[in-house]
Structure 1
Amino acid sequence: MLKKLTWPNVAWATLALPTLAAILGISLTACKILPTPSAENGGNASAFNADKMVGDIWAAKMVPYLEQKAGPFPEVHALAKADPAAAGAKYGNPKKQANSPWTFAVRLEGKIVAANTQSRAATMDVDADGDGKADARVQIGPAMRGTALRDSLDFIQFNDFTNQIEFAQFGKAFNIHADKTVLSKLPREALEGRSARVVGAYVLGSGQDLPLVTPAEAEIGPKP
């Protein structure tokens, strides 16, 4: 049976907490919860803004750099398979970290022979040499893998950033900006048979899969 709590019990319980606090030397009124610094209260939470950094260099520096650096995809890929270092010196980023794979700037032109637009990670396969078979796969978003655009630039280095997290966010911001300004405007229906023109970058892979190109510029021609 539950015991009825009488008023003297309540009074003792009410006094117990401050008394215990006094014994322990703790001031209840002195306890505070300090806010986490943020942009609103004067902190530095917004000091690093990857999206703004990419937006600032996209048209002014990044796209002109790729247009000047990029080579025709068939030529770049053939050299990359035969001599990656030579291809990297000509079409890649010689300042890359030593343990990182080569990333090449390319111009890809040809006919779309297959497309996957049902997934958020949409792609189109492009025949660049006219043999009817896909030579490269182009990411058209909105979800995109990798950081090829960031890694193709010789004026961007890991040591420019405070830590790995900022560097990763910066790489992801290129994909977001490409989708927002270029790829989201591309048609998504009846792509097979159309022509495609892309300026972008890809990472040298194992050779078993199609090279995966991330565009900075992309155009799709009319239906045939």
Structure 2
Amino acid sequence: MTTTAPDRPRRIPTRWIAAAAIAVLVVLMAASTEYRTAETAAAAAPKKFDPAAFGAQNYEAKVVPAIKSAAVELPVLLDALAADKDAASQKYGKRQGTGPYTFAVRAAGEAGAAKSGLLPVTVKDLPDDTKVWLQIGPAINGTALRDAAGFITFGQFTNQVEYADAATALNNQMRDKLLKGLDVAALEGKEITFTGAFTLLTPQTVTITPVEIS
């Protein structure tokens, strides 16, 4: 009597299994891949910082009200700084990191003759050796408006260049909104009031970037 051996399962070659796995993976990748047009890809990309738009959106709506709200009388501030610089700076000033403090101030005084982009103002109740100047352009320097506002921080920007451009954009807005319509020559010898901001470098020379002059 002849006995027939049972059929053994046929082994599938390893290379076939690998090829099938790769094919399944390709199908899954294709199914999960989102194909985007150039337009949708551009819309999804991070938007480039627009300094002009930032200035237009923030200067009148946010920065000017913030500086006016925080403004302290200039003689009061300078007296406080002379008495206790650290305490006065922490009470009235704002700063980023370890940089110099920036202050929002208001005052009244007699305007002098403008020169080199600065308008001198004689403010009462200040020490005789203290000089007060308002920046009247055309070049507006510094970051006082940005820093005194209190709500604009470095962390809101991608890098230092954008942070600096934000300050320049606010200065440009101030020049366009305030200074272009101001007859500076007509102010000489007149009593004016002003509100603005300055970064403390020395109490003897206070150079203010204004947001209001009347």
Please name the residue that 2:208 is paired with. Answer: 213
1:110 aligns with 2:109: yes
Partner Cα separation in structure 1 for residue 91 and residue 120 of structure 2: 25
1:107-146 superposed matches below 5 A: 107-116=106-115, 119=116, 122-129=117-124, 135-146=131-142
Q: 1:58 aligns to what?
A: 59
In the aligned structure 1, how far is the partner of 2:54 from the partner of 2:72? 26
Are the aligned partners of 1:104 and 1:201 in contact in 2 as well (CA < 8 Å)? yes
* Identity among equivalent pairs (%): 36
Going from structure 1 to structure 2, the CA distance change for 1:207 and 1:175 (only over 3 Å counts) comes to same
What TM-score comes out, normalization by structure 1 length?
0.69
CA shift for structure 1 position 99 = 1.9
Q: Secondary structure at the match of 2:150?
A: coil
Aligned to 1:147: 143
Distance 2:119 2:188 in 1: 8
CA distance in 1, matches of 2:164, 2:147: 11
135-144 vs 123-132, greater mean Cα deviation: 123-132
Counterpart code for 1:73: L
CA distance in 2: counterparts of 1:128 and 1:198, whole angstroms: 11
Q: Deviations over 1:78-135 (max 9, x none)?
A: 2123323322333221xx223200100000211113421xx4xx11111110689664
Report the 3-state secondary structure (helix = DSSP H, G, I; strand = E; otherwise coil) of the residue aligned with 1:141: coil
Instruction: Tell me which amino acid in the other structure corresponds to 2:107.
Output: L
Matching residue of 1:101: 100
1:161 matched to 2:157? The reply is: yes
Match of 1:194 in 2: 190
Give the 3-state SS of the residue equivalent to 2:185 in structure 1.
coil
CA distance in 2: counterparts of 1:78 and 1:203, whole angstroms: 16
Partner residue in 2 for 1:178: 174
Structure 2 counterpart SS, 1:162: coil
- SS of the aligned residue for 1:109 comes to strand
Match of 2:195, SS?
strand
Write the distance in 1 (CA, Å) between the matches of 2:188 and 2:161.
39
1:150 partner letter: R
- Whole-angstrom distance in 1 between the partners of 2:92 and 2:189: 29
Gaps of 5+ in 1: 1-41, 220-224
Amino acid in structure 2 at the alignment position of 1:99: T
Higher relative contact order (CA 8 A, sep 6+): 2
* C-alpha distance in structure 2 between counterparts of 1:165 and 1:51, whole Å: 14
Alpha-carbon RMSD: 2.6
- Partner residue in 2 for 1:6: none
Give the C-alpha shift of residue 190 in structure 1.
4.4
TM-score (norm 2): 0.72
Give the secondary structure class of the aligned counterpart of 1:211.
Answer: strand
For the 8 Å contact 2:132–2:206, the answer to whether it is kept is: yes
What displacement does 1:158 show?
0.8
Map 1:43-82 → 2, pairs under 5 A: 47-82=48-83
Q: How many matched pairs?
A: 173
* Greater C-alpha Rg: 2
Are residues 98 and 160 of structure 1, via their aligned partners in 2, closer, same or farther at CA, if it must alter by over 3 Å?
Answer: same
Deviates more, 1:107-116 or 1:159-168: 107-116
**How far off its partner does 1:66 sit?**
1.1
Matched-pair contact (CA < 8 Å) for 1:142–1:184: no
Greater share of helix residues, 1 or 2? 2
Range that drifts further, 155-164 or 96-105:
96-105
